[in-house]
Amino acid sequence: MPQLPMDLQTLRGNRVVASFSPTQHLPIAAPAVPLIAADVGGTHVRVGLVRATPDQGIDVIAYRRYRCADHAGLGPILADFHAHAPGARECVIATAGYPLADGSVISANLPWPLSASRIRDDLGFQAVHLVNDFEAVAHAAAHIDGSQVLQLTGPAQAPRGPTLVVGPGTGLGAALWIPVGERSVVLATEAGQAALAAGNELEMAVLQQMLRNRSHVSIEHGALSGPGLLNLYNALCAVRGATPVHATPDAVSAAACDGSDPLAVQTLELFCGILGSTIGDMALLYGVQGGIYLAGGILPKLGQFLIGSTFVERFLNKGPMAKALQRIPVKLVEHGQLGVIGAASWYLQHRST
């Protein structure tokens, strides 16, 4: 294979070996040629050239992150990456939204249309596969090392059972990894589109403010996403009779983390409390036993704030079911290459069935 340029952030030898036991035994045969795996979000596209190893690890041969705003579509991004990483014949794309039979995707969070069939034809791939982004991240749970996580609550280990992967970014993604005998399946969800629930008087007032402009306030629109955080801040300002001074989610979170703006601090406190309550609800709804991984593009930047917030208190505040939730490990994981690794893992598992 031709030498790859350094600007592709080549990660030769950066093999991620499975350390989470439930799927280690799956029979995955290493393909003869590498695979391009892409994790497509509303803000960034992460692309990797990957291949399976005989011991069921995944080699990330090359990796690059692109800003969506800098490109006219996913096709040009993949074309640029493919030009510097030739040899791949297939591509797997993890993306938010609902894939249709014609290879297109319905999503409110992608900055441009996405068509797998058009990418296949334009770039000459033998096949282009689509998978839900958090379904891919759930498959990546098999490749998360213990040193890559921050434990928030619960025991260090949990029994083999349904495992939830959830995280806010441009939207709110959630998927459930479910063991079935010696194999596993992943349930992709649109949990972010469920109605936002209030847990105290201030949250009720903020939700009522949001309902003035729309009949349905979803979890991701009202709080648990980048745009949701900004909407939460603007609604709180309206409730407090204050004029908003921050125009982006990053500005709100930065002012909250450095303590320079009390309203931003209160907004992020609301965000963390709602996150804890929502994830507790999901754990009960989905029968989670194996653990919860918090991923997404937002949370890794808020680790210390999250630790000092009411997140755990609200997660456990489920009446008599608190005892059940205390047995579930909740861990924060850096998103990074998870989507790329998960997309590749999804492809390799389905290829072997």
Report domain extents, the chain: 6-142+336-351, 158-328
Model pLDDT, residue 328: 96
Between residues 270 and 182, which one has the greater pLDDT?
Answer: 270
Closest Cα partner for 351 from 134, 98, 129, 189? Answer: 129
Which residues, 6 or more positions from 48, have their beta carbon under 8 angstroms from its beta carbon? 36, 37, 38, 60, 61, 62, 63, 64, 337, 340, 341, 344
What's the whole-number mean pLDDT along residues 112-120?
87
What's the mean per-residue pLDDT of the chain? 84
CATH number for the domain running over 158-328: 3.40.367.20
Q: Please report which confidence band the pLDDT of residue 126 belongs to, taking 50, 70 and 90 as the band edges.
A: very high
Question: Does 34 score more than 50 pLDDT?
Answer: yes
Q: Please report which confidence band the pLDDT of residue 146 belongs to, taking 50, 70 and 90 as the band edges.
A: low
The full DSSP string for 233-264 is HHHHHHHHT------SHHHHHHHHHTT--HHH
Could you tell me which CATH class the domain 6-142+336-351 is placed in? alpha beta
Two tokens, residue 100: 């249709």
Are 226 and 301 in contact by the 8 Å Cβ rule? The answer is no
Between residues 53 and 72, which one has the greater pLDDT?
Answer: 72
Model pLDDT, residue 260: 96
Between residues 55 and 128, which one has the greater pLDDT?
Answer: 128
Are 166 and 46 in contact by the 8 Å Cβ rule? The answer is no
Between residues 96 and 257, which one has the greater pLDDT?
Answer: 257
- Cα atoms found within 13 Å of the Cα of residue 268, Cβ hemisphere only: 27
Residue 329 CA to residue 200 CA, distance in Å, equals: 25
Highest mean pLDDT among 31-40, 63-72, 89-98: 63-72
Model pLDDT, residue 53: 79
Are 281 and 174 in contact by the 8 Å Cβ rule? The answer is no
Residue 171 CA to residue 229 CA, distance in Å, equals: 11
Between residues 236 and 107, which one has the greater pLDDT?
Answer: 236
Q: Please report which confidence band the pLDDT of residue 250 belongs to, taking 50, 70 and 90 as the band edges.
A: very high
Are 309 and 272 in contact by the 8 Å Cβ rule? The answer is yes
Could you give the percent of the chain with pLDDT greater than 70? 84
Q: How far is CA 80 from CA 44, 65, 87, 280, in A?
A: 15, 12, 14, 42
In angstroms, how far is CA 121 from the centroid of its own chain? 28
What's the whole-number mean pLDDT along residues 285-289?
95
Model pLDDT, residue 19: 24
Question: Does 1 score more than 60 pLDDT?
Answer: no
205-232 pLDDT, tens digit per residue, is 999 999 998 999 999 999 999 999 999 9
Q: Do domains 6-142+336-351 and 158-328 have the same CATH topology?
A: no
Are 345 and 139 in contact by the 8 Å Cβ rule? The answer is yes
Closest Cα partner for 220 from 191, 244, 198, 248? Answer: 191
Model pLDDT, residue 104: 75
299-346 pLDDT, tens digit per residue, is 888 989 999 999 999 999 999 999 999 999 999 987 567 889 889 988
Model pLDDT, residue 222: 96
